[in-house]
Amino acid sequence: MLQKPKGTYDIYGDKALIYLYFRKLVEALMDKYNAKFVETPIFETGELFHRGVGETTDIVSKETYDFKDRGDRNLTLRPEGTAGVVRCFIENKLYAENLPLKAWYLGPMFRYERPQAGRHREFYQFGFEAFGSSDPMMDAEVIGIVYNLFKILGLKGISVNINTLGDKESRENYRKALLDYFKPYLNDLCDDCRRRYEKNPLRILDCKVDSEKDMMKDAPKMVDYLNEESKEHFDKVLKYLSDMNISYKVNSNIVRGLDYYTHTVFEVQADIDGFGAQNTLAAGGRYDHLVEFIGGPSTPGVGFALGLERLFLALEKENIDIKEIVNPDVYIFSVGDEFKGNVLSLANDLRMAGFNVEIDYNSKSFKSNFKKADNLLVHFIIIIGEEEVNSKILTVKNNKTKEEYKVKLNEIIEFLDEKLGDEDEN
């Protein structure tokens, strides 16, 4: 029997209802922030991620799905969303529009890593990017989006861990300090960190292998190497978070796993029983040089991303049910196969009028049709037979109260509008 590849999963049943509800919620929330939806290809040229995300990241060096197509082109399944959105921003000259431009995306990403609870090789990610503003107010608003989303979903104990990597000058000063500090400890570092030492020593601080060693705890802190401009930017971000009543903690160990971040970096957590220390549900930051690095005009940017699988697992742990179950408004069946066309015609008209309609496709008996209507929890049943077709008067039954009505065919839409509206009010 053929089975799905390891690290992937099917979306159906309750899982599909949760996904669809979340998407509707995100769409409504993004409208409130005047953010526009964007969808980029699932695969891009390999260079985009190797340059944009960074060769020193685990994502690129260990986890990308790289392949050649029949034209011998190097392609990569997207491991994250930001690089593709930036490429779209540049290629379609969106920088010529009114800035800042706020964009959001939701779709599958791919990383070759060990599957575990909340982590898969194919996973869904919701992300937000804002281009064209270097104002720290934008950093705070981006963090506020995640914070508000988690509050809407009902998560408790939401907090923000935040740090700054400073501007280019501050980051370079910090890089030199790390090189000097870690040089005597090179033999004590893991193989990955020895490679990071040469290419991007900030990534050493993000190491999971060496994180508990004393040398890591005593490493230089970024805050000590910030210039005045970077300090001012960070202080304003923190002030704006306080203005929005968003709780935060400055955490100097947050550097983020991607090479393109500058200034603000953050993680948003929720106090989830059973998650332990791994309760980070969203992360992001500012990347003022990424657009230029990929080939566009100098444009500041800031954004975040969150994995749906981990978020949904957190909601499950907290017993938060976000399924939106929509039951059919109407169930229609015919008395005799010769009237199936009438059933189909009426169902089509009602659907186009905005009703949720299910019909009998399999010529079931009266008893079976009523049983199916009960299982579907429909509001109204419409029965069509010879009498209904000839008289153009439909037999309509309220499946909850069991009341029966005779309704003219040309008045059925108004009838259902009125009755279903009364039920909604009750």
Six-digit token string for 183: 């040089």
Which tokens in the block code for residue 362? 């399999």
| 277 pLDDT more than 70 | no
pLDDT at 85: 96
DSSP-assigned beta bridge partners for residue 264 = 164
Model confidence at 381, pLDDT cuts 50, 70, 90, reads: very high
pTM for the model = 0.85
- Domain positions in the chain are 13-167+227-317, 330-425
**Distance (Å, whole) CA 366 – CA 344:** 18
| Range 177-184 average pLDDT | 86
Burial 14-36 (b: 16+ CB within 10 A, else e): eeebbbebbeeebeebbeeeebe
276: confidence class by pLDDT, cuts 50, 70, 90: low
The predicted pLDDT at position 173 comes to 87
Of 269 and 138, the structure prediction assigns the larger pLDDT to: 138
Q: In CATH terms, are 13-167+227-317 and 330-425 the same topology? A: no
pLDDT band at residue 278 using 50, 70 and 90 as cut-offs: low
pLDDT at 393: 95
User: How far apart are alpha carbons 184 and 200 in whole angstroms?
Assistant: 17
Residue 278 contacts residue 183 (beta carbons within 8 Å):
no
- State mean pLDDT over 178-184: 86
Tens-place pLDDT, residues 2-61: 998 898 889 999 999 999 999 999 999 999 999 999 999 999 998 888 776 655 555 566
Q: What is the pLDDT of residue 179?
A: 87
Helix, strand, coil share of the chain (percent; to 5): 45, 20, 35
Residue 60 backbone dihedrals phi, psi, to 5 degrees: -80, -45
pLDDT exceeds 80 at position 75:
yes
State mean pLDDT over 373-384.
95
pLDDT tens, residue by residue, 292-317: 989 999 999 999 999 999 999 999 98
Output the pLDDT for position 60: 61
Closest listed residue to residue 141, CA positions, set 356, 262, 26, 303:
303
Nearest to 311 by CA among 160, 157, 159, 155: 155
- Candidate CATH numbers 3.30.930.10, 3.40.50.300, 3.40.50.2300, 3.40.50.80; the one for domain 13-167+227-317: 3.30.930.10
CA distance 109 to 125: 7
Distances (CA, A) of 185 to 116, 181, 196, 200, 203: 33, 8, 13, 16, 15
pLDDT in tens, 134-166: 999 999 999 999 999 999 999 988 999 999 999
Share of the chain above pLDDT 90, in %: 63
Architecture of domain 330-425: 3-Layer(aba) Sandwich (3.40)
pLDDT at 197: 78
d(CA 100, CA 98): 6
Mean pLDDT over each residue of the chain, to the nearest integer? 89
The percentage of the chain sitting over the pLDDT mark of 70, rounded to a whole number, equals: 93
- The mean pLDDT value for 192-205 works out to 78
> Which range among 186-190, 333-337, 369-373, 412-416 shows the weakest confidence by mean pLDDT?
186-190
384 in Cβ contact with 392 (< 8 Å): no
Distance of CA 254 to the CA centre of its chain: 22
> Which whole-number Å values give the CA distances from 18 to 22, 88, 375, in the listed order?
6, 29, 21
Q: Are 101 and 130 in contact (CB under 8 A)?
A: yes
- The token pair at 188 is 């004590």
Range in 51-55, 203-207, 370-374, 386-390 the model is least confident about: 51-55
- CA dist 67 and 87 (Å) reads 20
- Each residue of 333-375: pLDDT tens digit? 999 889 999 999 999 999 999 999 999 998 889 899 999 999 9
C-alpha to C-alpha distances, 267 to 205, 255, 260, 370, nearest whole angstrom: 15, 10, 16, 52
- Extract the tokens encoding 390: 């000839």
The predicted pLDDT at position 94 comes to 95
